[in-house]
Structure 1
Amino acid sequence: MGHREDLLEGAKRCLLAKGFVRTTARDIVKESGTNLASIGYHYGSKDALLAQAYVAMVEDMSELFDGEVRGEFGSLERFASVWSNIIGTMREPGSMWRLSMEIVAMGDQLPVVRDHLARAQREGSRGFVAMFTGVPEEDQPDELIDTLGSFYTTLMMGLMAQWTFDPGTAPEAGQLTEGLRRTIEGAVATDGAP
């Protein structure tokens, strides 16, 4: 592994151990066995490196979301199965979702990081659409990402907040699925009503 990869792996470990705000460039250098100049050379800044490390961690987590998924694309069974996998990652000790909430809360303080993560969030929305519908990421029109992808991303953000704040009362996949089922029933019942 070269300095670039060593820095990225060291930054991931620092993020999980200390969070975004408390991680220093020296922490990353110590954890990665590199030097301070390498951060600027390979990533431009400590914050850019940490943002890239965070995005890589989220991408690694997305593989766990796909796990054992049941149900046809678009079905309530698939909806429950995928959210069950996602929620399973939130239960784990040292879950990175607390880190996610820290990053969301401090977005305005780090505009470069926020912009980098906003672009990554859009790609995350594409991934959600593919998981739930089976529409390959490269075939998704912007309208689908801006509607259905945004819907799934909003659910994810809400779950992260609830599981971080109070895991004891945070919803399970079955509760989310029942809520969606009731929403669909209500929409169908009132469709065409004056």
Structure 2
Amino acid sequence: MGHREDLLEGAKRCLMEKGFVRTTARDIVKESGTNLASIGYHYGSKDALMAQAFVELVQEWGEKFDPADRRDTEDGGSVERFRDVWARMLETLDESRPVWAASLEVATQGERLAELRKLMAAAQIEGRSGLVAMFTGRDEATLDEHTVRTLGGFYQALLNGLMVQWLFDPASASTADDLTAGLRQVIEAAAPEK
């Protein structure tokens, strides 16, 4: 592994142990066995490196519960698939708590992390696309901008809300069955009366 990869792995470990706010460039250098100049050379800034580390951690987390068959399926977006994806997500939340806590740090730190927030906002679009693919089985490459913004935004809002519930109190957070029952109620309420 070269300095670029070492820095990224070191930043991931720091993010999991210390979060965004408490991690310094020196922490990353110590954890990666590299030098301070490497951060600027390979990533431009500590915040850009931390943003990349966060994105990769979220992608690694997503791979743990992503359905094995992401190709188009007959149930693409079924209520059963909705429940199954949420169930897999919830099974991994314990080990991913540091990642979600770090994302709340970015969201709540305001102007203090302005550069990082800008980088994370751009990564948010990619996250929406991945969520649509997981919940529907559709290939990300086939998704149009409208679908990513609307359906992806819907799934992302649910995920972020669940994350906050779970970080505050896992015991009272919604379960996959709760979310599915809620979705069924929304569908029924939206259906035209006969």
Offset, 1:192: 6.8
Distance (whole Å) between structure 2 residues aligned to residue 129 and residue 107 of structure 1: 28
Residue 178 of structure 2 is matched in structure 1 by 175
| Partner SS state of residue 26, structure 1 | helix
Contact 1:89 1:95 in 2 (8 A): no
Call closer, same or farther: CA 1:93–1:83 in 2, change over 3 Å.
closer
Q: What is aligned with 1:72? A: 75
Choose 82-91 or 172-181, whichever is displaced more.
82-91
Equivalent position amino acid for 1:174 in 2: D
Match of 1:36 in 2: 36
**Separation (CA, whole Å) in 1 of partners of 2:96 and 2:158:** 22
1 CA distance for matches of 2:78 and 2:117? 34
TM-score, normalised with respect to structure 1: 0.92
Aligned match of 2:114: 111
Q: Distance in 1 between matches of 2:181 and 2:150?
A: 21
Contact 1:7 1:29 in 2 (8 A): yes
Identity percentage of aligned residues = 56
1:63 to 1:107, Cα distance in 2 relative to 1, 3 A? farther
Q: Compute the displacement of 1:4 (Å).
A: 0.4
Please give the alpha-carbon distance, in whole angstroms, between the structure 1 residues aligned to 2:83 and 2:110. 30
Structure 2 gaps of 5+ residues are none
Q: Give distance in 2, aligned partners of 1:118 and 1:93.
A: 20
Amino acid at match of 2:59: E
The normalised TM-score by structure 2 is 0.92
CA shift, 1:93, in A, is 7.0
Note the aligned Cα RMSD (angstroms): 2.0
Q: Which residue of 2 aligns with 1:123?
A: 126
Check 1:94–1:132 CA distance in 2 against 1; reply closer, same or farther (3 A cut).
closer
Give unpaired runs (5+ residues) of structure 1: none
| 1:107–1:113 CA contact under 8 A, matched in 2 | no
CA contact (8 A) 1:101 1:160 kept: no
